[in-house]
Amino acid sequence: MTVSTSPSGAPPAARRTLVSRAIESATHRSIPVLVVLAIIWAIFYSQSSAYLSFQNLTNLTLQIVTTAILALGVVFVLLVGEIDLSSAVLSGVCAAVAAGLVVNSGLPLTVGIAAAVLAGMAVTFIEAQVIMFGVPSLIVTLGGMVILQGLILVVLPPEFTISVAATPFAKIASTTIPAGMSYALAAAGTVAFAAYRLFQRREQVSTGSSASVAAVVVPSLVIAAALFGGVFTLTRQRGLPMPLLILAVMLLIAWYATTQTRYGIHLYAVGGDREAAQRAGIPVRRMVLYSFLVLGACAAVAGMVDASRQLGVSVTSGSGPLMLNAIAAAVVGGTSLFGGRGSIWSALLGALVIGSISNGVQLLGLSTEVQYFATGSVLIVAVAADVALARGSLLPGRR
Amino acid sequence: MAVDSEPQFSDPSHDGSSQGIPLLELTKVSKYFGGVRALHEVDISVREGEVVALVGDNGAGKSTLVKIVSGVESPSAGEVRVGGETVRLDSPRDAAEAGIHTVFQDLSLCDNLDAVQNLFLGRERHGRLWSGRRVRRHLMEEEALRVLTSLSVKLRSLTTPVAALSGGQRQGIAICRALISDPAVVLLDEPTAALGVSQRGEVLDLIHRLREQGRGVVVISHDMKDVRQVADRVVVLRLGSRVAEFRRGAYTPSDLVSAMTGAAEPTND
């Protein structure tokens, strides 16, 4: 969501509409990360004009898909005030399950996908049960990570690797949606968004609230620009890559669930103040469980997309920097580690920031340590900027 | 004595409150935490249009009683009846469904949510299951505005997280919550603690209004002035037991204090 409205153009508080408010609240926490992203892009673009080429932007988006999907699940867990360290390895286990069933046992792709998602949710279900028993999530998922590193050895065949090249499994990542179809999707998305905004406005008008037509038209135009611009950029090579569509659909569902539904309010309430949520009759433990189940499903999808892109599953699937990148993405994007604050867009924006750095470093042929230095610094700077913005001052806080 | 000259809400129709229907009745309710006796065979009843004040020193069992009635804790023994029927209050939701609303001392607001979300927390107006229980925000905003205006709680914006609001505004939201669900019994835990003079007057006003609406009101308070102003009956707890009960106008502040501290053990009635 790269939308931004100028505060000076906002109507007075009393007449403030649902729409402008939704955009404002979503962008408020996104401002620091958008600035950081712009700075990173400007720096790398000044070093190499190839950085912002259509080709490289398409590569960049493909590189961040796995991190972004996993970060999406992590955001749900962070929002209820828990943390997870095991989901990256879990994504490897789920990919091994799916690849084993599809490639080695010859089952249909849908069966493999369903089995992987169920396996992911089963593991996070068990983790959530132990967390509800009272063990801190940091410890449960740290232990879970080590156990899962063992489990992936059990799930993989004796040669510890499954190649998915030239199998139905590889099609997940290699499928592209033709440009025409992609534009049709963008048009459909714009129409659906405008229709939803119009529906909301009619609801408000029906009960006597004032709501301006501009509140429907302006965001719709912005969304249209973003969608068509994105499709235009990403279809220059071969068409819209399937993993991006998967990510977009997941973000859309997550946006609806977290901002438009009762579940969403309860999710934020549990992260904001568990005691208050409990007293209001919200099933706190069940909300924590739901978050972990969402994470399990996200981990499974991330694992399968990654395996399909890498054309194989091995013991190293899901290891390496994936876990820390996913957590860093969520936090850089503006989700609080202490729960209750942040939005699902932080998964996408944070993954873009982290992906932009590693992509730029590789493009310029810089050494790996530069990437580590830059990523670590950005993590700290982005959170510091968020803290300063929340406080409204650069001076140190009283706490 | 300055305390005696405090204006009281005179309401003769409530003097014979014993004729009303008991909305909430606790019979021989006990609560033990391990070997610690927090409450021992406490009887309390609240009738329609009656304000019952619950007073007691620290450790008298007031908080435990609040937790039991609000469904946060279950009693170890005893019976809770709402409208004459025995109920099990195993969760805050059970208590809400039975028609008991509690305003906690810490207000129990979620700081990261806005006023409307807090007012309706756990009772959101939402659409059908197929829509994923979509929140009908516009309905909630209108009802919130109506309730907030009726108690003259003024907010700059309905969409600011309540963390950014003043103490009085937060208290206002917490109390307005009591009116959203239209409960039969409202339990207020230290409603005037940490409030300014005018805000305290507003809260006492609200308690009066709740009584006029025919609700049963239980007020837990340390403040003798508040108790004398609003309560039709005063129940005194000490060390987990009910040690005294006074009717409006039939006691002096020193009666309350001696009952609370056990300085002069009064006869149990």
If chain B, 269 residues long, is cut into consecutive pieces of 10 residues, what is the mean pLDDT of each piece? 41 46 87 86 90 87 88 88 87 84 86 92 86 87 85 80 82 83 86 77 81 87 84 90 87 84 60
The whole-number pLDDT of residue A11 equals 36
Chain B residues with CB under 8 Å of A341 CB are: 112
Q: What are the structure tokens assigned to A56, written together? A: 């490289």
User: How far apart are the CA of A22 and the nearest CA of chain B, in angstroms?
Assistant: 10
**Residue count of chain A:** 399
Q: Which residue of B has its CA nearest to A276?
A: B108
Burial A21-40 (b: 16+ CB within 10 A, else e): bbbbebbebbebbbebbeeb
CB count within 10 Å of CB B2 equals: 6
Give me the interface pTM, i.e. the ipTM.
0.81
CB count within 10 Å of CB A391 equals: 13
User: How far apart are the CA of B20 and the nearest CA of chain A, in angstroms?
Assistant: 29
CB contact under 8 A, A272 and B113: yes
* Pairwise pLDDT comparison (A12 vs B123), residue with the higher score: B123
Q: Which residue of A has its CA nearest to B121?
A: A280
pLDDT 10s digits, A69-128: 999 999 999 999 999 999 999 999 999 999 999 998 989 999 999 999 999 999 999 999
CB contact under 8 A, B142 and A275: no
Which residue, among B131, B137, B138, B189, would best test binding to A if mutated, counting the most A CBs under 10 Å from its CB? B138
Pairing between β-strand B22-33 and β-strand B77-82 as defined by DSSP bridges: antiparallel
Per DSSP, the three-state class of A108 is coil
**Is the torsion defined by CA of B229, B231, B233, B235 positive or negative?**
negative
User: How far apart are the CA of B136 and the nearest CA of chain A, in angstroms?
Assistant: 9
> Model's pTM, two decimal places?
0.83
Q: What are the structure tokens assigned to A18, written together? A: 């649902």
d(CA B144, CA A116): 45
| DSSP designation for A235 | T
- Between A and B, how many CB-CB pairs are < 8 A? 96
Our measurement of the distance from residue B177's CA atom to the centroid of its chain's CA atoms, rounded to an integer in Å, reads 12
Instruction: Give the DSSP H or E segment for B54.
Output: strand B51-56
d(CA B258, CA B265): 7
Q: Specify which residues B205 forms β-bridges with.
A: none
Q: What are the structure tokens assigned to B143, written together? A: 């009802």
C-alpha distance from residue A3 to each of A220, A225, A274, B112 (Å): 11, 10, 32, 23
The whole-number pLDDT of residue A255 equals 93
Task: List the alpha helices (DSSP H) in A235-321.
Answer: 242-260, 262-272, 274-279, 284-310
d(CA A342, CA B119): 21
With contact defined as beta carbons under 8 Å apart, do A372 and A380 qualify? no
What average pLDDT does the structure give for chain A? Answer: 86
Residue A379 buriedness (CB in 10 A; 0-12 / 13-18 / 19+): buried
With contact defined as beta carbons under 8 Å apart, do A42 and A256 qualify? no
Q: Which residue of B has its CA nearest to A210?
A: B138
d(CA A211, CA A192): 19
Per DSSP, the three-state class of A397 is coil
Which residue do the tokens 């090579």 mark?
A: A237
pLDDT 10s digits, A340-383: 888 999 999 999 999 999 999 989 988 888 888 988 888 888 77
What does the pLDDT average to over A3-23?
39
Chain A residues with CB under 8 Å of B156 CB are: 13
- Which of A209, A262, A265 is opposite residue B138, by nearest beta carbon? A209
Residue A7 buriedness (CB in 10 A; 0-12 / 13-18 / 19+): exposed
CB count within 10 Å of CB B187 equals: 26
- Which of B92, B110, B131 is opposite residue A281, by nearest beta carbon? B92
> For residue A247, what pLDDT band results from cuts at 50, 70 and 90?
very high
Q: Which residue of B has its CA nearest to A269?
A: B110
Q: Which long-range contacts (CB under 8 A, 24 or more apart) does B167-171 make?
A: B167/B194, B167/B195, B168/B195, B168/B196, B168/B199, B170/B107, B170/B109, B171/B107, B171/B195, B171/B199, B171/B203
Q: What are the structure tokens assigned to A192, written together? A: 């659906």
Q: What are the structure tokens assigned to A99, written together? A: 């690849």
Per DSSP, the three-state class of A183 is helix
- Which of A256, A272, A273 is opposite residue B132, by nearest beta carbon? A256
The whole-number pLDDT of residue A23 equals 44
The whole-number pLDDT of residue A29 equals 66
The whole-number pLDDT of residue A32 equals 75
Task: List the alpha helices (DSSP H) in chain B.
Answer: 62-69, 92-98, 115-119, 137-150, 167-180, 197-212, 224-230, 253-261
Q: What are the structure tokens assigned to A44, written together? A: 């790398």
Which residue do the tokens 């409006």 mark?
A: B248
The whole-number pLDDT of residue A4 equals 36
The whole-number pLDDT of residue A7 equals 37
The whole-number pLDDT of residue A125 equals 97
Q: What is the DSSP string of A337-350?
A: TTSS---THHHHHH
Chain B residues with CB under 8 Å of A200 CB are: 138
Answer whether residue A206 shows pLDDT above 80: no
What does the pLDDT average to over A220-248?
89
The single-letter code of the amino acid at A343 is S
The whole-number pLDDT of residue B258 equals 85
